[in-house]
Structures are given as C-alpha cells and as structure tokens.
Structure 1
Amino acid sequence: MKNAIVSIVMGCAVAVSATAYAAGDMGNMNVASGAQQGTDAKNSMSHGEVKKVDTAAGKLTIKHGPLENLGMEAMTMVFKVKDPGMLSQVKVGDKIDFVAEEIDGSLTVTKLQKQ
C-alpha cells in the first residue's frame, strides 16, 4: 500500500513538472503572430473578374480565385457590396482585387480595386 501511494505521488510530481516545463518552453512563442495572420488573411485581397453588375440589387457576380479568409475555393458567385458606390467603379470583364467578408450572413465585398 505504501509503495502504491509513493508511486502515485511520484507520478503526479512528474506530470506537474512536465506541464511546467512545457509552459515555460512556450514562453518564447509569439502568440500575437497567430492573431496577426488572421488579420492578414482577413485583409488580404483576392483576385477576380466581374461577370455581372446588378446596381438595383447592390450586387456583383465575380469569378474569383480562392478566398482564403473565408476558406472557399475558386468559383463564380454573387456578392453584396458594402458601399453601393463600388458598383460604379467596375464593369463586366474588369479584373479586380477585392476583400469579401461574411456580414450578417451574407458574403459582402468590403474592399474593391481594379487591377
């Protein structure tokens, strides 16, 4: 019985020291870099081609490459625009760089510039 208690105590001591070592070992990690990468992905521009401009509905149809910040592959899809003024900046066939985000359940173009 005494040996069992000593074994349990030693096991706990090893587990606690290993946890403390691992926590101390992570002290040199830059935790902010993960947050920075998330911000970079959110603000990174995607590339696409305008296929349709629907000013009445405030929407753009864009054939685009991967949308990394949304985890989407390349495809053609319809997006709302955050600012209706964006629609007057482009026409069908224009190559664009843009940022799309999910806002209130809708995919929305929040930044747009012609290439």
Structure 2
Amino acid sequence: MKNVLISMMTVCMLTISASSYAAEPASHAAASADGAQVGGDAKAGMSHGEVRKVDLAAGKLTIRHGPLENLGMDAMTMAFKVKDPAMLSQVKSGDSIDFVAEEVDGALTVMKLEKR
C-alpha cells in the first residue's frame, strides 16, 4: 500500500511539473525578435533613459538608463554607438528617451530611439 501511495504522489508531482514547464514558453511567445510585445504597446520592449551627452564626432550617445533586460544589464550611465547617425540630431543632452540597444559586432548600439 505504501508503494502505491508513493507511486501516485510521484505521478502527480511529475504531471504538475510537466504542465508548469509546458506553460512557461507560452508566456514568452508574445515577444517578437526585437523585444517588442506582439499585439501590445510598441514601447513595451524599449528601455527608458536620459541623454547625458551627444558626441557627433564619435557617433555616440551617452545615456543614463534603467535596466536593459534584453542585454541582462543593470541601470547605469554609458556610451552607445548609434545604428543611424541621424539619431544624434534627434536628441540633446537632458532629453528623456525610449530606446532599444543591441550588441552589434561587439559594440552596444542603439537600434531604435524615440523621444519621450
């Protein structure tokens, strides 16, 4: 009898574990490749920050930002390259922005930028 109860408990635990494991990817399925939520707010995949410096010569923005979840980075201030040099003329020091940064050829690069 004891073996039957242990077997039943094991089956129940495995069933619960398997259903939990199977449900997890579905919660992430709504995210697209660029980090934006499909069918949700377009800014959901963007990080928030404040422009601290615009360096036209180097083609970089220094941004004080919150966590960059897609890169696994904590909040900090750092310089980023920009995908398109035209982005540098869209902002100035002190502007609040939403942005998407990715690692491109070993350099952190702003791929998308919107003033808030």
More helix by share: 1
**Cα drift, residue 35 of structure 1:** 4.3
In the TM superposition, 1:85-96 aligns within 5 A as 85-96=86-97
Q: What whole-Å deviation, never above 9, does each CA across 1:16-59 have from its counterpart, x for those lacking one?
A: xx6xx75xx54x6474543434x378331111111110111110
Q: 1: CA distance between counterparts of 2:47 and 2:87?
A: 16
Q: 1: CA distance between counterparts of 2:34 and 2:68?
A: 9
Letter in 2 for 1:103: V
Match of 1:113 in 2: 114
SS of aligned partner of 1:85:
helix
Letter in 1 for 2:30: Q
Q: Percent identity?
A: 66
RMSD between aligned alpha carbons?
Answer: 3.0
Aligned length: 99
Match of 1:36 in 2: 30
8 A contact 1:53–1:92 mirrored in 2: yes
Q: TM-score, normalised by structure 1?
A: 0.69
Letter in 2 for 1:64: H
8 A contact 1:41–1:69 mirrored in 2: no
Q: 2: CA distance between counterparts of 1:97 and 1:80?
A: 15
SS of aligned partner of 2:67:
coil
Q: TM-score, normalised by structure 2?
A: 0.69
From the CA coordinates, give the structure whose radius of gyration is larger.
Answer: 1
Match of 1:49 in 2: 50
8 A contact 1:59–1:81 mirrored in 2: yes
SS of aligned partner of 1:63:
strand
Q: Which runs of 4+ in 1 moved over 4 A?
A: none
Match of 1:66 in 2: 67
**Cα drift, residue 63 of structure 1:** 0.5
